[in-house]
Each structure stands twice: as C-alpha cells, then as structure tokens.
Amino acid sequence: MQIVITDGYTLNPGDLSWEPFYELGEVIYYDRTAAADIGSRCRDSNIIVTNKTPIGAATIAAAVDLRLIAVTATGYNMVDVGTARERGILVCKVPEYGTDSVAQHTFALLLELCNGVGGYDRSIREGDWQRSLDFCYSKTPLIELRGKTLGLVGFGRIARQVARIAEAFGMHVLYSSRSASVGAPRAVPMDRLFSQSDFISLHCPLTADNHSFINARVLFLMKPTAFLINTARGQLINEGDLAEALKTRRLAGAALDVLASEPPPPGHPLIGLSNCLLTPHIAWMSWEARHRLLTMTADNIRAALAGAPRNVVNL
C-alpha cells in the first residue's frame, strides 16, 4: 500500500512522528509538492495525504490504483471530490482537531484589536515610555468587552467555543447560520447580525454560494466602530472592498488569519494597513492540534483500509 504525503511540512515541521503512517504501508514523503510535480508524484499512489496540495481531476484520473485521498484538514476544497466520487475513491477529512486552538486564536486577534498589546510592546522598545512625561500613555483607545456584542457567522464547534469564551468576558453573542432553527435563541438574520454587532467573527466553510460574500454591501451594514475577524477561509471576503472600508475608516479594523491567496502576492491591498492585523494562517498550528490532526488522519486511513471508512465527504 503506497501512501504519498504531498505536503507534510506545515503539519509536522519535525516535532511530531509519522510512525502511525509507516505502520499502514510504504510512505513516500514530501515537505512540499509544486504544481508541476503533483501528477508524477501521485501517479502510483494508493493513498494520497494532502493538506493544501490541490488534487484535481487529472491527478485522480492518472492515479489508476488510487483508493483514498486523506485530507489533513477540515476544509477539503483543494480536492475534486466529484471526480473522486465518480471513480469510487474516498475522500476523508478531519472534522474536529483544532476547535480549542482556533477559538483561542480568534480571541488572541480580538484582544489585540481591543488592547493593542503587541503595539505597546513595540512602542516601549522604541523608547516611547522612557520619553513619556507621565507614568502611562495611550496610543490607541482601549476597549472593554463586557456588554459588547459578538456576531458569529456559522455556529459549528469552533463558533460555539468562541461563544463560550465571549460569554465568560460578559459579551452578548448573536449568530447566523444555515443550520439555525427559526426562532432559536441568539439566531438572527445575516443583515441584522452585521448591523448590530461590535465584532463579527467568521466560522463558516467556504462554498460556491458564499465566496466573497463579505463585500461592500455587507461591510456598509457594520458600525463604523466595529471589527471583522476571520479565522475561516480568506475567500469569504472581497479583499478589495475590505481594504477600502478600512482605509476610509468605514470600518474600525480587521484581524485576519487567512487570505484568499496564501502566501499573498506582493502589493496585497490589506498588508500594511494600520487597522488590519494579519497572522499567517496559524490558528490551527498549536502542537496539540497538529498532533490530533496527524493521529486522526492515520486513524481515517486505518478505518478505510479495514472497510469501515469514517469522516468521508463524498459518499
């Protein structure tokens, strides 16, 4: 059984063990796979393990003995699941490995927007406190969370954990979700969510229907004092519209762990804006979350080989 790991480095840069995979078959490992090499590297595989390497129709068609595509993530938009289904090839994901880590990072971004701890640290390193005439000084307004409203787009496991943290801070929580029951507590229509919230946090999967749905119209609904947070998928946001809203102060700020293109190209409109915080898609990357992800991916493969596949997305 040949198992090809196309891009293992971000999951395991050396602090985890691939041993669970070696117990399942012959492992061919790559840190990264360039687009030009995907077909040749995967051609003889029985199992492909991918994180962000796109596995398209041509790759699937060429891999005549392919049985399983194991995605080391919750999102699986990098795989042509339709073609895989037509070929009888299973596609498995890992649905719940980073709930606590992503929720924690969401609040790391939110608290940085409110308290600017990193900015104050840089200010002190540059000598501003030493030069201050007073025992303290303020460079940005500090925001207290108690009584503020957090709007969550989506209400899956991560959003629910974010809601629990928010409530511990004394925040009011609203959410909008396709799965929300009519009249469910705190569930509101999307436009109302955007117009009433002091913070909006995105926790929904990327679909054909919601690509770039955070656009000028939606941003105009938000309070000028409100903030947008995204730890889901960058393609949910029209980045040009968001950049314009931030530059004109139509929106107070944004904190994003994801962008539509990663790494971003030179001259990206959001990089360098004073009211836009960016982190490089790291909300999922705690050691604990990556360990769970690696272990659960191996378990997905083991279950499929035993004839009892789990976490399948294309049946």
Domain chopping of the chain, boundaries: 2-97+287-305, 99-278
Radius of gyration of the chain (CA): 22
Active site residue 233: yes
The Cα–Cα gap between 191 and 193 comes to 5
SS3 content of the chain, % helix, strand, coil (to 5): 35, 15, 50
Give Cα separations from 152 to 163, 180, 187, 222 (angstroms).
Answer: 8, 12, 9, 13
Active site residue 262: yes
Asked if 246 and 272 count as a contact pair (C-beta separation under 8 A), the reply is: no
pLDDT score for 182: 44
Q: Which of 41, 105, 203, 281 is catalytic?
A: 281
The Cα–Cα gap between 214 and 153 comes to 11
pLDDT score for 106: 98
**Segments of the chain scoring below 50 in pLDDT:** 182-183
- CA-nearest of 279, 280, 218, 281 to 251 is 218
Q: Where are the beta strands (DSSP E) in the chain?
A: 2-5, 26-29, 47-50, 68-71, 90-92, 149-153, 172-176, 199-202, 227-230, 253-256, 276-278
* CATH architecture label of 2-97+287-305: 3-Layer(aba) Sandwich (3.40)
User: What's the residue count for the chain?
Assistant: 315
The Cα–Cα gap between 289 and 74 comes to 12
Q: Which of 26, 144, 262, 288 is catalytic?
A: 262
Domains 2-97+287-305 and 99-278 share a fold: yes
Spelled out in words, what is the top-level CATH class assigned to the domain 99-278?
alpha beta
pLDDT score for 77: 87
pLDDT score for 179: 66
Q: Which of 233, 239, 290, 292 is catalytic?
A: 233
pLDDT score for 238: 98
pLDDT score for 214: 97
Asked if 209 and 233 count as a contact pair (C-beta separation under 8 A), the reply is: no
